[in-house]
Structure 1
């Protein structure tokens, strides 16, 4: 640790940067109906979110390597600057096409914030304190889940949707100033050439696999999906072959010789995939089936964000005493209980039960994600912490992006099966049902049948979620029974 670094102020700056990215998704979701109404682009709405995830995931491993080679500060500040440029362009957008392009730029910048934040935490805190600090930093997501819907609603009602993006500017500029002034690190001299070909092949493989799943979820399997998947296979094979030969690879393949490192990242990907299904579709349940307002529905997952912090604190103590395998066995048990509960819920489930399930899952998520992140960092030499951290972040992002497409396929297929069985109903009615403000426009005698169709779609997602968690538990069983931390 560099003694000149103001640890407290740098930690605050990291917290603010994390909050900035955490609040972005929810606040844009709140404003999206207004944005779509003004820009007339409902058919392109999904791409406002998807392109952000695509470019974010694509750039994450690149930033991780650059953070190791060039230093944390310049990469972190560069990412924030690009994020703010993208935010500004989003605010000035006057069509869905320009908004989507601007969101792509925003995602390119955001790809640096999360992995480099975790890397800086690894630099300024010892292993035994790291889990607690990550828990505190993770509380930004909990705060964002409460603040973002209220803030987004206020901005849209009293200003206009453009300010949803402009509000990032003052916060981001203050964060950049704090990192520039208070975070001190030794100037690094680039000791090797950057692996540009490896970076391009890796970005191509990530982009093609994510696009193929996104397209599959939207339009089913077609020629473009198959071509995208073929490009993924070829670019991945070329990437692996190139990384074996290059002097300083963008991702060292030696990392994958460590069984614990591989297992921790696979578990992180699977649980992050389950997590996105929980967070995205529970509000759909509470609005479409229970008929609650959007603001109230969003609070159904809030206990998860709050208990996540407690789980992170527990993870610190547990990792000090036990192996990663044992810690994950306990945390995955909590998640499995929550997953089985979700998969068993009847259609008339009262709202308060979602609070209880959300709390149980929050503890499991907090322990699992914190443990996988800290373990991934602790298994590699200091010189590779940035790459290891960014790969862990990439694993989680890939898990979320791929599984949200799979869940979408399950959801739409199950709903369609039910709708076909019921005369007088059609798929387009589901859009009206999910919005409590428009549900009363539907014929009253069809609403119970439509809710049953929605329930079957959601039920299919959470049955799939049970199998995802069980798979994570099985994979964790193959881990070592000993610790082999390097730091």
Structure 2
């Protein structure tokens, strides 16, 4: 649960500190990449790491993801350039891509079926609250300590979480053999990368939606998604089972979450920069 909370919080805790980080590292042109790289890596890694957890066990993959998250935090916390910060955010994103879904599976499997709905209703707010209080915590660290501690504080918490998980989680090994759909995984990574990098290039490189590069990326993404659907429809153990999309509840809930997070993350990521540079608010007022 600690890993899940910190992975969620790390999506927004940096937003309030970003103007200070950009000023110290002289990286205004790469402002959008700090959040973009994290979300990009997390989005791409999530379905693949979830499948790896089915094959190799939740405990092993979860602890590996926690190690990646800590490594990324160390790289970010010691960053003295934007390039190093972006590399660290990418590593963090890969780790977070496994922490969030695997943590939910572990929590679900820890309770009987009749209690899971009640547990999920308690876990739901814990996934939103860290994102909401993240900017406040980021502002406190920047105003009273140093922005480097925004990342380094993750390490002791991760160590505690791993210690509890190592001692408390006991997995039963099944005899069923699992395979990894590497063709589907590679196609999915390429499709998501080409699709998600398009708005990042528009934001950071000044390209327009009518630019040949952007159009080419979107067309490539659409072609790869079509290829991915074809691969998954024939795979014995697909990365994403296509039959899920025949369930209306799954489709509707996915659209609702997508719409909610689109507005929430967009506002949290951009408002601190607007508040400081346009509204000319000092840090304590921005945090409030």
Instruction: Give the structure, 1 or 2, with the largest relative contact order (CA under 8 Å, sep 6 or more).
Output: 2
For the superposition of Structure 1 and Structure 2, which TM-score range results when normalised by the shorter chain? 0.7 to 0.9
Question: In 2, distance between residues paired with 1:140 and 1:242?
Answer: 33
What TM-score do the two structures reach when normalised by structure 1?
0.53
Trace 1:256-275 onto structure 2 (pairs within 5 A): 256-275=245-264
CA 1:235–1:164: 2 relative to 1, 3 Å: same
2:86 paired residue number: 100
Distance 1:240 1:102 in 2: 32
Verify: 1:69 aligned to 2:58, yes or no.
no
Q: Which moved more, 1:269-278 or 1:84-93?
A: 269-278
The answer to whether the 8 Å contact 1:283/1:294 transfers is no
CA distance in 2, matches of 1:38, 1:281: 18
- Note the C-alpha offset of 1:217: 4.2
Deviations 1:138-191 (A, max 9, x none): 336425634x44543443345432222111111011111111110112124561
Of 19, 24, 31 in structure 2, the residue corresponding to residue 33 of structure 1 is: 19
Give 1:131 deviation, angstroms: 4.2
Q: Does 1:205 align with 2:194?
A: no
CA positional deviation for 1:23: 2.6
Shift of the alpha carbon at 1:133? Answer: 2.9
Q: Does structure 1 residue 56 correspond to structure 2 residue 46?
A: no
| Alignment of 1:162 onto 2:148 | yes
1:19 paired to 2:5: yes
Residue of structure 1 equivalent to 2:229 = 240
Q: Distance in 1 between matches of 2:101 and 2:72?
A: 19
In structure 1, C-alpha distance between the alignment counterparts of 2:276 and 2:25, rounded to whole Å: 25
Q: Secondary structure at the match of 1:28?
A: coil
Q: Where does the alignment leave 5 or more consecutive residues of structure 2 unmatched?
A: none
Summarize deviations over 1:100-133 as a string: whole Å, max 9, x none: 1111111011101111121122212345543443
Return the match for 1:116 from 82, 87, 102: 102
Are the structure 2 counterparts of residues 178 and 216 from structure 1 closer, same or farther at C-alpha, using a change threshold of 3 Å? same
For residues 52-104 of structure 1, the C-alpha deviation after alignment (integer angstroms, 9 at most, x for no partner) is: 00010001111222222322212211111111111111122221112111111
| CA displacement, residues 369-427 of structure 1 (integer Å, 9 cap, x when unaligned) | xxxxxxxxxxxxxxxxxxxxxxxxxxxxxxxxxxxxxxxxxxxxxxxxxxxxxxxxxxx
Task: Give the 3 Å change call, closer, same or farther, for CA 285–46 of structure 1 in structure 2.
Answer: closer
The residue matched to 2:13 in structure 1 has which SS? helix
- What's the CA shift for 1:192? 2.9
Cross-structure match for 2:111: 125
Deviations 1:6-37 (A, max 9, x none): xxxxxxxx1x1122123323332232222222
Task: Kindly report the root-mean-square deviation, in angstroms, between the aligned alpha carbons of the 2 structures.
Answer: 2.7
User: Residue in 2 aligned with 1:81?
Assistant: 67
Counterpart in 2 of 1:91? 77
Partners in 2 of 1:77 and 1:47 — Cα distance?
27
Which structure's CA Rg is the greater one?
Answer: 1
- Long gaps (5+) in structure 1: 1-13, 300-487
The Cα of 1:252 is off from its aligned counterpart by: 1.7
TM, length-normalised to structure 2: 0.86
1:63-462 to structure 2, matched below 5 A, reads 63-126=49-112, 129-137=115-123, 138-139=125-126, 141-142=128-129, 145-146=132-133, 148-188=134-174, 191-218=177-204, 219=206, 220-221=208-209, 222-277=211-266, 279-280=268-269, 293-299=282-288
